[in-house]
Amino acid sequence: MTLLAIETSGPVCSVALLVGGVPVCTRAEAGGANHARLLPRFVDELLAEARTRRLSLEAVALSEGPGSYTGLRIGSSMAKGLCYGLGIPLIAIPTPLVLCASYAAHIGRLPADAPSLPADPLLCPMTDARRMEVYTALYTPDLRPVMPIQACVIDASSFADRLAQSPVVFFGDGADKCRSVICSPAARFVSGILPDAQHMGVLAEAGYGRTVSGKDIAYYNPFYLKDFVAAPSHVKGLHP
């Protein structure tokens, strides 16, 4: 399957052209608030690459959240427009699973002197949701769900019942702030893991995404998990 994968749920905007789950061309940049500027350029470049290689897109894979509200809207708008214009389906993949795929790719590249990790831990991807809140879930190493995706406020008792039974590996941009709070000897933390479009092909090929096609694409919304709440403006003159 030839896919264009889009990931804009966090600080990095990434896009990948994938064939049979393998990336043949990628673009990524830590754009922060620049996803709206970066994503169209990345998509144009990879579509041009697909034409050069005489590849026909069969679907667009989207990291659907939860994550940054604005980032998810930007990514989903692009994905829906491409799918509608090209007449191809959208494959929506939960962002915690994309994080798990990025973790799996990362541990395969760890140096030999890196701290050892437990053989069969539970996987706990964490996306920063500000303060001590994270979007998270729990999976077995073969990605069977153990705890559904949810928003959690982390304290010293978080995951205590799970950690009493099994080692847990925490990763993602929400995990670092939890390192000093979750102090169990069964907890392991791996830094530097972010969701990346180039790892989404394996998930899409294995059927971990939800396929949206035809007229349903118009009604698709990302997995925000929580309602958007606008912060008060601090611009002078906008308040009575």
Q: For the segment 87-145, what is each residue's pLDDT rounded down to a tens digit?
A: 999 999 999 999 999 999 988 765 555 556 666 899 999 999 989 999 999 999 999 99
Q: Are 95 and 65 in contact (CB under 8 A)?
A: yes
The CATH number of domain 2-95+195-219 is 3.30.420.40:
yes
Q: For the segment 9-58, what is each residue's pLDDT rounded down to a tens digit?
A: 999 999 999 999 999 999 999 966 799 999 999 999 999 999 999 999 99
Q: For the whole model, what pTM was predicted?
A: 0.91
Strands 2-7 and 13-19: antiparallel
Q: Are 96 and 89 in contact (CB under 8 A)?
A: no
Fold of the CATH domain 112-190: Nucleotidyltransferase; domain 5 (3.30.420)
CATH 3.30.420.40 in the chain is located at: 2-95+195-219
Instruction: Check pLDDT > 80 for residue 73.
Output: yes
Judged on CB neighbours under 10 Å (0-12, 13-18, 19+), 39 is buried
CATH 3.30.420.200 in the chain is located at: 112-190
